[in-house]
Structure 1
Amino acid sequence: MAVDQVHRFFFSGFSYQCRLVQCPAPSTEPIVVIGGAFQNMYSYRRLEGPWAQTAPVISVELPGSGNADQLPATYGFDFLADALTDLLDRLGLDRVNLFAVSYGVPVAYRLAQRDPGRLARLALLGAASVYPPEGLAGLRAMVDALASGDADGYARRSVETLMAPADRTVRNRAAVTRVLARDMAAITGPDFERHLASTRRVMDWPGLPDGGVSGIPTLCFTGEHDTLTRPDLGREAAATIDGSFFTLIRDTDHLPALERRHEVGELLLRWFTDQPLDDLDFLTPLEQPTRPLPAGVA
């Protein structure tokens, strides 16, 4: 069994850390994982077994996440992209596969813009060009409940914001709802400030930066019933990445890695090892969105 190695570093006065699972005989570039706003470097452990048979897996807690140092909301995603670059440099990783989830997407996108040669392949779960008004309203309700010390209200608002309405078909809905509500209601002490800062950082995010991304094979995907990073906004995000693919995980919402974890694990394993995806029956047909031409360009 592979042994976890935890590395802790400092960047611009803030600590951060990662968990490294070695692979004795890698067949693809190392896989780096950046989780969502309320996740840590163990959140994808149940998915990573097959990945670790093909490459080293590095799960990251950037400043403001997990047990890394608190990061005020005034520090944006560009700072986190700088911290991620620092991590890759410290580990001597010249070229990696990068998987980013929701909150991690702006970090990965900025790195891809700045240093595309660093990324062999990119996978973005829960990407959006911007957050929709109804999603921002849900995040505001979460912040208000948390700021008032209403842990149960925060848990309830989190479920309402992150999961699809009850009339949508979502795999393992009851179990995921219980886990999400339990975890959000249980936060205490430093976690309050961490959750508040992370959510405010998302709310202040202006959307994907101009310029797009090119030169990196990229897969963008989310749940077909995602109401936070809606499929139409995911397509818009994918359209800013030259040659990217876009698809949806059937019967899921913003949390497909919880609702259909085996399927998400298989999808990413195939993507990072250049295997075909078009025979996976849990996906909608693969699309290749394109950016509209500027006015006056034929």
Structure 2
Amino acid sequence: MSEEVIRSLSVRGVSYAYRVLRQPERCTEPILVLGGALQGMFGWPQLEDRLGPVAEVVTADLPGMGSADPLPPGPSVDVLCAAILGIVDDLAVPRINVFGFSYGAGLAFGCARRFPERIARLVLGGVPAHITEEQVAHWQRAAGHLKDGDTGTFATMVAEGLLCRDESRPVARRELAYRYVRRAMLQAALHSPHAVDSLRRALTDRPDFSGGLSGIPTLVFSGEHDTVTAPSRQRDFAATIAGSRFLTVPEADHWVVLERPEEVADVAVRFFTDRPLGTAAGPGAAGAGAVADPAWA
């Protein structure tokens, strides 16, 4: 079993913490895993077991998340990226790999644009590059239920907003993923002091997905039935990153990391260790700079 170390840090007067699973026989830079606005440092067991054999795995309670101090009023992305840079510095390594999922994909991308020299490779999944007004209204209603203490309705609405409920679209482990996400949202609602603020921040203080990026090997992946941001939109985002790869995962929606965890972890390990992804480059491009690979088998 890997040695677990938890370190406390602060940024701009806000205390937060990160957790690292030591791996003395690592073969690549540490892998920092960043997830949703309501996910903390203990929310990634499905990835830790698979990434751990090749690298030190790092998770965090960033400011405004988990056990960390709340964020001050105002824009938060700069503070969160500064907190992530603090983790890289505290690890005493030149560079890290970053696995960013959902809201965490925006943070990972923001960090890569702010301090690219500290990022070795990026894997970005379920990128919320485009959110409709209807989606914002849905999650605002969910936040209203949470603020009123109706945690059950809140958890149900968030789960339904994040998962594909259309039975005509095949999704692996559909009901298992739904129960897990709803339970996780209920747990956050009952025990996280930041739940309302975290959801508000994810809706109103969104990372900037408009600009491009170069010089960092990047893989973007999406479930084929992602209803948060369509795969075509995520492919367009990937096209702004020079030399990036784009993959669509069949029989999965936004929560592809739960529905196809083995496949996601396998391709992440391959990418972070500079091994072939197991699929040949597709015949077409996904826009300027991004190579569209075939869907995984």
Same fold (TM over 0.5): yes
The residue number in structure 1 matching 2:4 is 4
RMSD across aligned positions (CA):
2.2
User: What is the SS of the residue equivalent to 1:47?
Assistant: helix
Give 1:175 shift. Answer: 1.4
Q: What's the CA shift string for 1:188-216, capped at 9, x where partnerless? A: 5662x512112111211355255411100
Equivalent of 1:289, from 273, 286, 290?
286
Instruction: Report the residue type matching 1:26 in the other structure.
Output: R
The residue number in structure 1 matching 2:162 is 162
Structure 1 runs not aligned, ≥5 long: 293-298
Instruction: Report the residue type matching 2:286 in the other structure.
Output: P
Q: Check the 8 A contact 2:95/2:118 in 1, yes or no.
A: yes
The residue number in structure 1 matching 2:292 is none
Give 1:33 shift. Answer: 1.0
Q: Measure, in 2, the Cα distance between the counterparts of 1:230 and 1:287.
A: 19
The residue number in structure 1 matching 2:184 is 183
Q: Measure, in 2, the Cα distance between the counterparts of 1:190 and 1:75.
A: 24
Instruction: Report the residue type matching 1:184 in the other structure.
Output: M
Residues 248-267 of structure 1 aligned to structure 2 (within 5 Å)? 248-267=248-267
Q: Check the 8 A contact 1:222/1:248 in 2, yes or no.
A: yes
CA 287–115 in structure 1, closer or farther in 2 if over 3 Å, else same: farther
Q: Measure, in 2, the Cα distance between the counterparts of 1:99 and 1:48.
A: 12
Instruction: Report the residue type matching 1:53 in the other structure.
Output: P
Instruction: Report the residue type matching 1:213 in the other structure.
Output: L
Q: Measure, in 2, the Cα distance between the counterparts of 1:214 and 1:231.
A: 21
Residues 109-128 of structure 1 aligned to structure 2 (within 5 Å)? 109-128=109-128
Q: Check the 8 A contact 1:244/1:288 in 2, yes or no.
A: no
Q: Measure, in 2, the Cα distance between the counterparts of 1:254 and 1:182.
A: 17
Q: Measure, in 2, the Cα distance between the counterparts of 1:147 and 1:203.
A: 15
Instruction: Report the residue type matching 1:237 in the other structure.
Output: F
Residues 15-34 of structure 1 aligned to structure 2 (within 5 Å)? 15-34=15-34
CA 123–73 in structure 1, closer or farther in 2 if over 3 Å, else same: farther
Structure 2 runs not aligned, ≥5 long: 290-297
In the alignment, does 2:32 pair up with 1:52? no
The residue number in structure 2 matching 1:67 is 67
CA 55–279 in structure 1, closer or farther in 2 if over 3 Å, else same: same
Give 1:255 shift. Answer: 0.6
CA 206–60 in structure 1, closer or farther in 2 if over 3 Å, else same: closer
Give 1:278 shift. Answer: 4.0
The residue number in structure 1 matching 2:294 is none
Q: Check the 8 A contact 2:21/2:57 in 1, yes or no.
A: yes
The residue number in structure 1 matching 2:173 is 172
Give 1:236 shift. Answer: 2.2
Give 1:165 shift. Answer: 2.1
Q: What's the CA shift string for 1:109-150, capped at 9, x where partnerless? A: 111112212111100111133322333233222212212211
User: What is the SS of the residue equivalent to 1:48?
Assistant: helix
CA 273–225 in structure 1, closer or farther in 2 if over 3 Å, else same: same
- Which has the higher mean CA deviation after the structures are superposed, 70-79 or 138-147? 70-79
Q: Check the 8 A contact 1:247/1:286 in 2, yes or no.
A: no
The residue number in structure 2 matching 1:296 is none
Q: Check the 8 A contact 1:212/1:241 in 2, yes or no.
A: yes
Q: Measure, in 1, the Cα distance between the counterparts of 2:288 and 2:206.
A: 19
User: What is the SS of the residue equivalent to 2:47?
Assistant: coil
CA 100–206 in structure 1, closer or farther in 2 if over 3 Å, else same: closer
The residue number in structure 2 matching 1:295 is none
Q: What's the CA shift string for 1:230-284, capped at 9, x where partnerless? A: 212211221221111111111111111111111111111111111212439xxx9
Q: Measure, in 2, the Cα distance between the counterparts of 1:11 and 1:233.
A: 34
What TM-score do the two structures reach when normalised by structure 1? 0.89
Q: Measure, in 2, the Cα distance between the counterparts of 1:55 and 1:86.
A: 19
Q: Check the 8 A contact 1:224/1:252 in 2, yes or no.
A: yes
CA 181–122 in structure 1, closer or farther in 2 if over 3 Å, else same: same
Instruction: Report the residue type matching 2:181 in the other structure.
Output: L
Q: Percent identity?
A: 36
Residues 217-296 of structure 1 aligned to structure 2 (within 5 Å)? 217-279=217-279, 288-291=285-288
Instruction: Report the residue type matching 1:290 in the other structure.
Output: G
- Which has the higher mean CA deviation after the structures are superposed, 111-120 or 46-55? 46-55
What TM-score do the two structures reach when normalised by structure 2? 0.89
CA 37–206 in structure 1, closer or farther in 2 if over 3 Å, else same: closer
Instruction: Report the residue type matching 1:111 in the other structure.
Output: C
CA 128–35 in structure 1, closer or farther in 2 if over 3 Å, else same: closer
